[in-house]
Structure 1
Amino acid sequence: MLTGIIAAAAGLAFLGFIVTMQVRRKRVTPKALIILPVVFTGLSVGLDRSWLAELGSGMAVLLLVTGSLAAIGLAVARAATIRLEQGPKGPMQKGNWLTAVLWLATFAVRIATMLIGMRYGVAQGPGEAFFFVALTFAAQNAIIAKRAGLIGRGERRPALAG
């Protein structure tokens, strides 16, 4: 019981941190865009090495694919809410209230996927959760990098983007 309460508190603190960081004005740098997807990918494999091997059932695969598509779709929506502007040291990003709402929706979708998995006997541990977070950050950050002109041709005037 205490472990569950601690895990829930840690999850809520993490959610608060993520949402806060997404709505603050900050520089867009390759390092900042890459670090969270890499960290969460590492956590997904490092903390739960068995989750990929447990994709033996159709329902497990369906939940992974559905969750992955939802993570990417919500990332695209969130990226559209993030304003880019040119700062003195390069591109800057800032989310808004809709960015925060979409992050809450992202976590709600992940919780719903977990509950559906529990209902159908598909165990989901931290590996799947961290993979979901890594994927949603990677998709969002790839779009921001493109819009900021850090990859590909980008936009010529990021101040007009988003």
Structure 2
Amino acid sequence: MNFGPLTIVVYVALAALVLYRVVYKQLRGTMLSRKSLVTLPLVLTAIGVVTIVDALPKASTGELALLGADIAVLVVLGLGRSASTTLTRQGNTTFQKGSALTLVLWLATIGARVGFGFLGGYLGIDDSLTSASIMLTLGLSIGIQNALTYYRIEQRGLPLAEQSRPVRA
């Protein structure tokens, strides 16, 4: 894969954001709200869609196939990550805590994403779509993870806190 300086900075910043906001918080445990389940995957997916707009029309069949396989694998890993967390009621919300398996699945997610990039290079597939789609694929993976988490919360009748701004008088 051919990374320019800006691409490397974006990847490092994204990795730091995901490691803290998602991985660290899941392993340490965090209170959940609708906002916390929706915001990050929505933002990452939206940025990802905007980012791939230029690369998509120029993408070869190989690039599109690689992107489809990448998304499929990351969606499955997202489902596994959700299933590997425990959900418990704490006050008026649900507390989510990851396990050792959650960490392994996050490492597999990172490995799969990097692996697809190298696979594309090995197969001689241009990496412009692979590079442009990182936020999209990560947003979709976290989004499917959070969708299953929300489904599990609903199935168990657990509450979710509403994170609204306080009304000023």
Where on the TM-score scale, by shorter chain, does this alignment land: which range? 0.7 to 0.9
Write the letter of the residue equivalent to 2:126: V
2:51·2:133 contact (CA, 8 Å) conserved in 1?
Answer: no
Q: Tell me, yes or no, if structure 1 residue 41 matches structure 2 residue 45.
A: yes
CA–CA distance in structure 1, aligned partners of residues 112 and 46 of structure 2: 22
Q: CA RMSD in A?
A: 2.4
Write the letter of the residue equivalent to 1:133: L
For structure 2, the 5+ residue unaligned runs are 160-169
Moved more, 22-31 or 83-92: 22-31
Write the letter of the residue equivalent to 1:78: R
1:44·1:126 contact (CA, 8 Å) conserved in 2?
Answer: no
- Give percent identity, aligned residues only: 26
Instruction: Provide the residue aligned with 2:152 in structure 1.
Output: 147
User: CA 1:45/1:144 → structure 2, altered by over 3 Å: closer, same or farther?
Assistant: same
Q: Normalising to structure 2: TM-score of the pair?
A: 0.78
CA–CA distance in structure 2, aligned partners of residues 13 and 91 of structure 1: 25
User: CA 1:10/1:75 → structure 2, altered by over 3 Å: closer, same or farther?
Assistant: same
**Helix, strand or coil at the partner of 2:133:** helix
Instruction: Provide the residue aligned with 1:80 in structure 2.
Output: 83
Instruction: Provide the residue aligned with 2:136 in structure 1.
Output: 131
For structure 1, the 5+ residue unaligned runs are none
Deviations 1:41-99 (A, max 9, x none): 121133443132233x2211211111111011101111111100011022111112221
2:41·2:143 contact (CA, 8 Å) conserved in 1?
Answer: yes
